[in-house]
Amino acid sequence: MLVYGSMLTVKRKVVKRLTELTKKAENVKLSDDGTKVIILDQEKLPNVEEYLELDNAEDIYEAIFRLKVRGAPAIGICAGYGIYVLARQIDTEDFDTFYREFKEKKDYLDSSRPTAVNLSWALNRMERVVLNNREKTVAEIKDLLLAESRKIQAEDVEMCRAISEHGLSLLKDGDGILTHCNAGPLATSKYGTALGPLLLGKERGMEFHVFADETRPLLQGARLTAYELQKAGVDVTLICDNMTGLVMKNGWVNACLVGCDRIAANGDAANKIGTSVVAVLAQYYHIPFYVLGPTSTIDIHCPTGDDITIELRDPEEIKSKYYREPSTLPEVKCYNPAFDVTPHELITGIVTEHGVIRAPFKENIAKLFEEHPEK
């Protein structure tokens, strides 16, 4: 197996960047005066690091829809801050008027993407703050919304740390890891989910070699996962999605770690398109396949993966988005689903902040929610 390394001086620099990447929640935050949501524009990475300031419903919607902010937890954080920014703009002291306008803005943001459950989870959580405090003044409700939006992000930092700890317990120093899509700090607030164990292990002196699928159709593995791992000093090799089987056959992969956008009550998991292919290959080559995500991505009201809405994206994301010239003729039809669903039978374990859920998934997920009803 080829070894891809860096000079010691370079490693010192990238480890410093790891501190920057994981110890500050800079990819999604609220402005100091509370009037804007500030995001790192992930659509322009890895070549341009540009921050956007969002202060109206259309811009927040577009940021989520266009994947300027993406990753299920980060979408939820952006939505929480976004609906607070919009709520503070509602100029009335009448609760019914305030709630009517709040609900319109909330439903509008909620329509931006259908698959990632954290979007509706965060917005519904913010709506409950309004409804549970109708006896208070509108000004007081706005203060409570601010506190709740900050709480959503603070909880995500703690959840990612716990997920990283539980995930790291499944790995050993020197393991080869395969990941798909992006589930690192850019998709959350700190360590990330699927990349969290690798970054936490790196902090503790462990070494891993990661094969990062480029991940069609939006190349989030190439643009974001490889970007994060390279800056963190983690040994990473980028591969095309159709190379996964070969690196597994060669014995270079000891575990697969992937994130998720929605997990059904039976353990079926929706993640970026191609994840289910990785799971099938992992089962064939007897490699453990782990899905990592906070319990907020588990939709207890969604019975199976068949009930998960799969988002269809613009065909141009395949035909021309990442090419100097289109890769195919204009009249060629394209099918461009953003996600697929991995059946629970192919999943070795679901890693949450509360530990590793294993089969039987339906029973053990239900038990998790009984033990933690606040989820």
Kindly list the domain boundaries of the chain, sorted by start residue.
26-160, 162-371
Say if residue 322's pLDDT is above 90.
no
pLDDT at position 326 is 93
- Average pLDDT of the residues in 243-254: 98
Check: CB of residue 54 under 8 Å from CB of residue 112: no
Return the residue matching tokens 């998709």. 187
pLDDT tens for each residue of 165-210: 999 999 999 999 999 999 999 988 778 999 999 999 999 999 999 9
Q: What is the mean pLDDT of the chain?
A: 91
Q: DSSP strand E in 144-281: where?
A: 176-180, 209-213, 235-239, 255-258, 262-264, 269-272
* Interval 269-284 mean pLDDT: 98
Catalytic residue among 156, 213, 261, 268: 261
CA 113 – CA 42 distance, rounded (Å):
16
* CA dihedral sign of residues 337, 301, 60, 103: positive
Q: How confident is the model at residue 374 (pLDDT cuts 50, 70, 90)?
A: low
Query: What confidence tens digit (pLDDT) does each residue in 262-272 have?
Result: 999 999 999 99
Query: Model confidence at 118, in pLDDT bands (50, 70, 90)?
Result: confident
- Cα torsion 232, 238, 244, 246: sign: negative
**261 part of the active site:** yes
Average pLDDT over residues 69-77: 91
pLDDT of residue 257 exceeding 60: yes
Q: What is the rounded distance in angstroms from the CA atom of residue 98 to the CA atom of residue 103?
A: 9
pLDDT of residue 145: 98
26-160 belongs to which homologous superfamily? translation initiation factor eif-2b, domain 1 (1.20.120.420)
* pLDDT at residue 12 in the model: 36
Residue-wise pLDDT tens digits, 135-151? 999 999 999 999 999 99
Superfamily of domain 162-371: Translation initiation factor eif-2b; domain 2 (3.40.50.10470)
